[in-house]
Structure formats: C-alpha cells, structure tokens
Amino acid sequence: MNTAADDFASRLLAWYDRAGRHDLPWMHPRTPYRVWLSEIMLQQTQVQTVMPYFERFVAALPTLPALAAASQDDVLALWSGLGYYARARNLHAAAKLCVERHDGELPRDPDALTALPGIGRSTAGAILAQAWGDRFAILDGNVKRVLARFHGVAGWPGTPAVEKALWLLAESHLPHERLADYTQAQMDFGATLCTRHDPACVICPLQADCVALRDGRVAELPTAKPSKPIPERHALLLLAEDAGQRVLLQKRPPTGIWASLWSLPEAADHETARAWFASHLQGDYDHAEALAPIAHAFTHYHVQLQPLRWRGLGLSAAVRDNDDLRWVARDELVSLGIPAPVRKLLLAVIPARSS
DNA sequence: AAGCCGGGGGG
DNA sequence: CCCCCAGGCTT
C-alpha cells in the first residue's frame, strides 16, 4: 500500500523541480481567479491552445467582479474559437453567483466550489490545491493515464467503476506538503513524459514500480474509449451581404450546438432556406453564389456546410435589425462570439476595408 | 450509463 | 483517418 506522502508523490515532485513547467501564464500571479479561469479553459483543451486565449481574457476582464459585470456577448467573444462554449456561459454565471453569495470571491470550500456551474470534482480539486495549497486530488486525463499505467488498471476510465478506482488511487498518493506543485507536477508529467503515444519510460522516475511497464502493457493502457460510428450531416449557410458589405448574422438559440453564438442563418435544405429568405430578405434566392463547402468535425458528428452568398441585399421592411438578427461589418466580427468555421469563412469572403 | 458539447494537434 | 486533450452537465 501507499503511505500518505509516498514515493510516488516525492518522486513526482523531484521530477517536477527538474523538468516541470514553472512559467505558465496563470502561475504569475497565481490568484484564485486566474487559476479558476485557466482550469475551465484547460478542460478538454491543450495548454498551447489555451495560452493566447487566457492572456486575452485576463487582459480584458482581470478580476472576478469584472467578469461578473461583463455582457454575455463580451464573454463569448473572448471565448470565440476555444470551443465548448457552455464553459464560457457557466464561467460567467458562476462569477455572478460569487458576487451574490461569496462577496465577489471564489469560495475556498469544496462544496461551495463544486456547487458553481462548470466546476466538478476534479476542477474543484485543482483550484483548491493550486490557489490555496489545500489537500485535494485531481483526476483529469493526464492523471487517469498515469495511474492506469502505474497501477495496471484496465477498462475505459469513462466508466464509473474504473473512475472510482482511479479516484481512490489518486487520493492515496496525495502528499501533505506542496499541493500546488504536486498538482502541477501530475499534469506536466502526463502531458510531457507519460504521454498517450510513445511515453519516455526510459527516463521515467516511476519506472521501477510501474505495472504497465513491467508487464509490457504501456501501449494498451489506459484502455481506449469504445468507438462508435459518427453520423454525417449537411446544412446550408445563408451569407447575405448588404450594399456596404456587411453580413447578416443571427444569434443562435441558447441551447444546442454553438449556443448563443452569432452565426450565419442556417437551413437544412433549399426549401427551408428559400422560405426563410423570402420572409426576411429582399432579392432573388436563385441568384445565390455557391461557395466552397466547409467540412467541420464535432466530437459526435461531422457536418458539411454549404455557404450560399448574395450581395447587395436589404432586409424586408417587416424584419429590421433586432436582438437576434444584425447586419455586421467586418470590423465588428472581433467583438462577437462566432463559431470558428464561420469566422474563418467570413474573414476570407469579406475584404478588409482599405484605409 | 450514455449522450451532448468544439476545436486543434498528433500519429 | 483516427484518437485524444487540465471535464461537466443533462437525460
């Protein structure tokens, strides 16, 4: 069995001092707000992807009260391109709750923390350990992989039984000191040494006691998620420009894919598109220019988006600009939350204004 | 227990 | 082309 401050933790900490990452943006200064924001951004997202978004976000909204006071559109604009936009909506809602319930600060209590939207057990542990040095375990993808190999735990970690076993193992290794460093050490270790493909076992500080290495099962642990067929979908994107080269954007519904983001009006087929066009725009639907189709992949389905473009259009008199439908100039795109493939399309199609 | 929710990087 | 990544929420 493992003692509380066992070899596992002390070896990991020694490795971290030597080879870990000590200069990530959220470490300097390592405030609760910055730790929290980084942990939310890092959910299912790699460090290199997160860094520029983190810098931009804290520059615009440097404190929790500033985040709470921001508009949802501002928050989504800062998140635009990162994906999993529920994280941004939950972050924003949680900030408001902290202002209401916790005097504008992130609570240090684990139950109060987990009660906030977007913060589960692992994220709460990461925040508590890194922001205050409190003794809580994490169980993210890195830790799951390291523990599954080190202890030879088979079975996909997504199943409750395997996850429960891994939580117990994670807690069994917790040291009594340096919890912030230990937490970072685990993540750095999984991200840079005990990697999914081709881990550096030959220089691993845990190699002497790793069950997977001993049994030659490193490549097959952790057990992969069972794969399922991914459905293919199609949709039309309606790209209407007015005489000033502004594009008509529509706010998406608050649930579902790309919730609450601004995007091009979307239709399942030409019949639906034609009807929407007729009731909102003045012009000839059949005058559309078909642009190159866009292939976009989500985790659980793939979609082919066919953009149709019209120029010099006007809105029907009965429609007008409203809260869910706006003519947007190219310069305004940066201030809105827009799905990545749509943003890319618009920037490619709408010429930058020559100054 | 399974599905939903993005986008990018790597083999 | 496949898989995975500092997961959490909903059903």
**Three-class secondary structure of residue A337 per DSSP:** coil
| Contact indicator for A122, A138 with CB cutoff of 8 Å | yes
Active site residue A39: yes
Distance CA(A227)–CA(A300), nearest Å, equals: 11
Q: How far is the CA of A138 from the C1' of C9 (A)?
A: 19
| CB < 7 A to strand B: residues 267-326, chain A | 296-300
The answer to whether A354 CB sits below 7 Å from nucleic acid chain B is no
Residue A3 confidence (pLDDT): 45
**Domain presence at residue A216:** no
Interatomic CA–C1' length for residue A285 and nucleotide B2, angstroms: 42
The overall average pLDDT reported for chain A is: 94
Question: Range of A164's domain?
Answer: 7-140+155-196
Q: Residue A67 has which token pair?
A: 């985040």
Answer whether any strand B atom is within 7 A of the Cβ of A45: yes
CA distances from A78 to A210, A257, A260, A269 (A): 42, 18, 14, 32
CATH code, domain carrying A119:
1.10.340.30
Mean pLDDT, residues A56-63 taken together: 98
The CATH number covering residue A303 comes to 3.90.79.10
Q: State, as a whole number of angstroms, the distance between the CA of A318 and the C1' of B2.
A: 45
Read off the pLDDT of residues A257-272 as tens digits, 9 standing for 90 and up. Answer: 999 999 999 999 999 9
Shared domain for A31 and A166, answered yes or no, is: yes
One domain for residues A178 and A271: no
Indicate whether A147 belongs to any domain: no
Shared-domain flag, residues A17 and A133: yes
**Which nucleotide has its C1' atom closest to residue A161's CA?**
B1
Residue A203 lies in a domain: no
Domain match, A247 and A302 both: yes
Within 10 angstroms of residue A126's Cβ, the number of other Cβ atoms is 26
Write out the DSSP string of A99-158. HHHSTTS---SHHHHHTSTT--HHHHHHHHHHHH--------HHHHHHHHHHHT--S-TT
User: Does A165 lie in the same domain as A268?
Assistant: no
Residue A211 belongs to some domain of the structure: no
Residues A45 and A171 in one domain: yes
Query: Is residue A1 in some structural domain?
Result: no
Banded pLDDT at A213 (limits 50, 70, 90): very high
* Domain assignment of residue A355, yes or no: no
- Of A115, A117, A114, A146, give the one whose Cα is nearest residue A127: A114
Does residue A220 form part of some domain? no
Q: Are residues A248 and A341 in the same domain?
A: yes
How many structural domains are present in chain A? 2
Banded model confidence at residue A354, pLDDT cuts 50, 70, 90? low
**A133-186 pLDDT per residue, tens:** 999 999 999 999 999 999 999 999 999 999 999 999 999 999 999 999 999 999
**Interatomic CA distance for residues A231 and A219, integer angstroms:** 29
Q: Which token pair is A143?
A: 């830790």
